[in-house]
Amino acid sequence: MTISEILYQKESFTETEKRIADYILTHLSETSRLSVQELAQKAYASHSAVVRLTQKIGYSGFRAFQTALIEEVSANRYLGQPVDPNFPFNPYDNAEKIAQKMLDLSVHSLQRSAASLQSDSLEEVAKKMLSAKRIFLFATGDSQIRARSFQNKFNKINRYLIIADEYGENDWAALNLTKDDYAIFISYSGESTDYEKFLGLMVQRNIQHLLLTSRKDSSLAKIAQQMIEVPSGEEKNVKVATFTSQIAFEYILNTLYSICYARNYTTHLVDLKDKEETMDSWYN
């Protein structure tokens, strides 16, 4: 998890620490050049409060924190302007300003997702998907919409994925999985009592599976055989919408579909051409 993500979450922060975090998030590049005294003055806090915050988020002190921040700012210099993922716009923004902020939010989410992906892991997942007899998708709410889009894409290449949570039958789906199948769990929080039971069963039965989540320290991540982490920062309940998480999930799922498609590219193109000709004959 990046420094920005930790500061966005403000988990167990005091009011003073929240004020320091807000200043840093708004002035990332500037903070990387400030002394601890200068940062304390600009954030209306004490020298010791700044040091305590850096230690609370895992650094030995301000100097270690600043070194890591410089590296993060340098790595992310190509990103759009950081936008609060929970409230990316305010009631005073006009349409043009909101459109720009949504663009920055989307670009930021995509770039952060891309930076954390590992090609070897993607290739491994795609290989498992292509060799699986059936693929089950476990997802609810907005994440299930992403899963359905993923399912629909595979229909085009004659692979029929199963939405496990459809009709409230995810327990039966989990129980019916075999070693020939593959399961994908999509959970931003990484916390679900049902999914925790299902993953435990799959580990026990040696059933291949993948977890997409924003929290590598979550209950599900601690069980899952394989995990792909997406950018965090969204609050559990207090937000306008699940913009950032769903952009990230869509990007990863689209990437996995594209890798699977590319492995039999010519075959899929020939099949597409044949089917289009058949459909043309139906309506002409």
Residue 54: the pLDDT is: 92
- Give backbone dihedrals phi and psi of 62, rounded to 5 degrees, phi first: -65, -40
Read off the pLDDT of each residue in 29-44 and give the average, rounded to a whole number. Answer: 89
Residue 79: the pLDDT is: 53
Residue 20: the pLDDT is: 92
Among 5-14, 36-45, 77-86, 177-186, whose mean pLDDT is lowest?
77-86
- Tell me how far apart the alpha carbons of residues 27 and 252 are, in angstroms, rounded to a whole number: 30
Q: How confident is the model at residue 75 (pLDDT cuts 50, 70, 90)?
A: low
Q: How confident is the model at residue 89 (pLDDT cuts 50, 70, 90)?
A: confident
Which pair of structure tokens corresponds to residue 15? Answer: 């009011």
Contacts of 195 (CB under 8 A, 6+ apart): 138, 185, 187, 220
Handedness of CA 21, 237, 2, 252 (dihedral sign): negative
In the chain, % of residues over pLDDT 90: 54
Domain annotation for the chain: domains and CATH numbers: 3-77 (1.10.10.10), 114-272 (3.40.50.10490)
What does the pLDDT look like over 219-229, one tens digit per residue?
999 999 999 98
- Tell me how far apart the alpha carbons of residues 276 and 272 are, in angstroms, rounded to a whole number: 6
- Tell me how far apart the alpha carbons of residues 192 and 215 are, in angstroms, rounded to a whole number: 13
What does the pLDDT look like over 149-192, one tens digit per residue?
999 999 989 999 999 998 888 999 999 999 999 999 999 999 99
Q: For residue 2, give the nearest of 227, 191, 214 by alpha carbon.
A: 214
| Greatest pairwise CA separation for the chain in angstroms | 77
Helix (H, G, I), strand (E, B) or coil at 210: strand
Q: Beta 162-163 vs 182-186: how paired, if at all?
A: unpaired
More confident residue, 8 or 203: 203
What does the pLDDT look like over 111-157, one tens digit per residue?
878 877 888 889 999 999 999 999 999 999 999 999 999 999 999 89
Distances (CA, A) of 133 to 177, 226, 269: 10, 19, 22
Q: Do residues 150 and 253 make contact, with C-beta atoms less than 8 angstroms apart? A: yes
Q: How confident is the model at residue 71 (pLDDT cuts 50, 70, 90)?
A: confident
Residue 76: the pLDDT is: 64
Q: What is the mean pLDDT of the chain?
A: 89
Read off the pLDDT of each residue in 32-49 and give the average, rounded to a whole number. Answer: 90
- Tell me how far apart the alpha carbons of residues 191 and 213 are, in angstroms, rounded to a whole number: 9
Q: Does the predicted model carry a pTM greater than 0.75?
A: no
Which pair of structure tokens corresponds to residue 242? Answer: 């699940």
pLDDT for 239 beyond 80: no
- Tell me how far apart the alpha carbons of residues 147 and 164 are, in angstroms, rounded to a whole number: 10
Using alpha carbons only, give the angle 73, 77, 83 rounded to the nearest 5 degrees: 80
Residue type, 171: D
Distances (CA, A) of 32 to 24, 39, 50, 62, 83: 9, 10, 14, 10, 19
Residue 55: the pLDDT is: 93
- Find where tokens 């559990």 sit: 236
- Tell me how far apart the alpha carbons of residues 42 and 152 are, in angstroms, rounded to a whole number: 51
Q: What is the DSSP secondary-structure string of 106-150?
A: HHHHHHHHHHH--HHHHHHHHHHHHH-S-EEEE--HHHHHHHHHH
Q: Which residues pair with 227 in a beta bridge?
A: 211
Q: Which residues pair with 137 in a beta bridge?
A: 163, 184
